[in-house]
Chains A and B, each alone.
Chain A
Amino acid sequence: MTISTDRLKTMFAAIAAAIEADKDRLCALDGVIGDADHGIAMDLGFAAARDATAALGNDADPTAVFNAAAKAFLNAVGASCGPLYATAFMRAGAAVKGKAALTADDMVDAFAAMAKGIQDRGKAEPGEKTMIDAWLPAAEAARQARAAGASLPAALAAAADAAEQGAEATRNFAATKGRAARLGDRSLGHVDPGAASAVTVIRAMADSLADA
């Protein structure tokens, strides 16, 4: 089964709903090592992405959906997660340019492009206590699962599990990037809020496409 434009719109709505439900927890996590607004920014961004993609006409292709999400997210939020997620969606859109609907391989490619986009924009490396610690293992897990013949839902489920483990591991890292970097060792023991929200995003994507 291929993933249509409508399916992608539904996916963005599902991410928005999951982030909205998780908003307070994300703010609380950010309050420990940051400035307590991460849940607000993510909620604003995905609500804007949901609305902008929902407003697209039937002639929009998957690339148009990703681009609309990118622009809406960025302009609603700014902050750090604005450029990071906007770049992720633009790269996903570029990865599937010209396609009317997405195969399982296309979707895994788009997913990998999102992770790469976040890394390129934020210039973070693994182990620096950022959302990259969830996104990179997730993209790798999806790629490996797909290469081993897994279905798209299985590949995305593997990605979500890997993201969760990656986010959990950020407890053991001292932040060197982003605002928490100023805390150094005082950030030890706390999950990075950006990694935690990445898990929510990836899990929502996986759940939304579980029957794809």
Chain B
Amino acid sequence: MQTKKIINDGAKAVEEMLQGVLAAHPRHIRAVEGSPRSIVSLNGPRPGKVGVVIGGGSGHEPTFLGFVGKGLADACAVGNVFASPPPDPIVECAKAVDGGAGILFAYGNYAGDVMNFDMAAEMLAMEDIEVRTVLSTDDVASAPPGEREKRRGVAGNFFVFKAGGAAADRMLPLDECERILRKANDQTYTVGVALAPCSLPQTRRPNFEIGPDEMEIGMGIHGEPGVERGPLRTADEIVDDIIDKIFAEMAPSRGDRVAVLVNSLGSTPLMELYIMNRRVAARLADRGVDTHATWVGNYCTSLEMAGASITLHRLDGELQTMLDHPCDCAMFRAG
């Protein structure tokens, strides 16, 4: 049986979504002429500024294209559903936002994205545009602590991109933007849990099976199976499990400051996210950790998957400055 979706044609889902996005946000973004999968900020790029290019597969909205705007990403290359964009739209993004100060690629750590962005970087190098790459690797459940470079990037992208976008908007040089992005990634920890699968517009079939009383810990944002499956528990128990996993690695001290993201993977409603955040706030307070800011909602989704992730982003003075720096994007505003 096929899942129900409000679409016209599964094969045209990304194109039709982009047409709707551009119609909704004409004061923030445009598509590059002749490269409809390259979305650039109207107000961000300028001479002397590092160009921040993000990108990845579709189906995670508002990640990635929703974070294009002044103070955050300058451009986003849009892939097919759950599939990296090819090199050409990435190259067009970089050329469109090149202010002569270099280009910073920031995206989640997936084999396909790495190959396509690396090919794009090679093509740009031939045109004398310098590119640096920072991969987000915030998913704690996706590899052991000693192998952080193998971890995938999930909802924590939000904080990583925010820091890099702010650094570039503050006209910092490429070396500094890269350093700050890396630091932001190093201080970002996410664990997710999935309750029900999603289905791709082209197949309209659930992309994995899960029992009515089960949940999957460590679920990836493409519906990849997680690393551990167990019985569904209460919100407090789930949050405790997630926070324990994050604390085990982050080892926060009393007086540390964090920003919090409680993110829906798609269909889990705000009510459940806020029930989760109640427990997150209590656990942070118990540990003596100061919560500088909290975001709750759909920030990095996996189509209509049911489930949620929690991200903690540890702040020092510099990262707090980047987080508090104003941004005005198609689907996100702050400061």
Contact = CB atoms under 8 A, between A and B. Distances in A.
Interface of A: 27, 31-37, 40-41, 44, 74-84, 121-122, 177-184, 186
A29 B80 CA distance: 19
A77 B224 contact: no
B138 to A, nearest CB: 13
A44 B143 CA distance: 31
A130 B85 CA distance: 21
B142 to A, nearest CB: 5
Nearest to A82: B86
Contacts of B88: 74-75
Given A82-B86, A83-B115, A77 B80 contact: yes
A31 B208 contact: yes
B111 A78 contact: no
Contact of B79 (A27, A36, A40, A79): A79
B86 A78 contact: yes
Contacts of B84: 78-80, 82
B200 A182 contact: no
B155 to A, nearest CB: 16
A139 B121 CA distance: 30
Interface in B168-224: 200, 202-203, 205, 207-208, 218, 220, 222-224
Interface size class of B (residues with CB under 8 A): 20 to 34
Contacts of A76: 86
Interface string B71-92: 0000000011111111110000
B49 interface: no
Contact of B83 (A32, A75, A78): A78
Nearest to B79: A78
Given A78-B112, A84-B115, A179 B224 contact: yes
Contacts of B24: none
Given A37-B83, A78-B86, 20 more contacts: A31-B207, A31-B208, A35-B207, A36-B207, A37-B81, A37-B82, A37-B203, A41-B80, A76-B86, A78-B83, A78-B112, A79-B83, A79-B112, A80-B112, A82-B115, A83-B119, A182-B143, A182-B224, A183-B224, A184-B227
Contacts of B80: 37, 40-41, 44, 77-79
Contacts of B82: 35, 37
B110 interface: yes
Contacts of B152: 182
Interface majority SS (helix, strand, loop, mixed), chain B: loop
Contact of B87 (A74, A81, A177, A183): A74
Name, among B87, B220, B225, the residue most crowded by chain A CB atoms within 10 Å (CB to CB). B225
A35 B224 contact: yes
B111 A82 contact: no
Contacts of A80: 84, 110-112, 115
A27 B222 contact: no
A75 B112 CA distance: 13
Given A77-B83, A179-B110, A179-B220, A82 B207 contact: no
B214 to A, nearest CB: 15
A70 to B, nearest CB: 11
B150 interface: yes
A122 B202 CA distance: 26
B116 interface: yes
A36 B112 contact: no
A32 B224 CA distance: 8
28 contacts: A27-B205, A31-B207, A32-B208, A35-B82, A35-B207, A35-B220, A36-B200, A36-B205, A36-B207, A36-B223, A37-B83, A40-B80, A41-B83, A74-B87, A76-B86, A77-B83, A79-B80, A80-B112, A82-B83, A82-B116, A83-B115, A83-B116, A83-B119, A179-B110, A182-B142, A182-B152, A184-B227, A186-B225
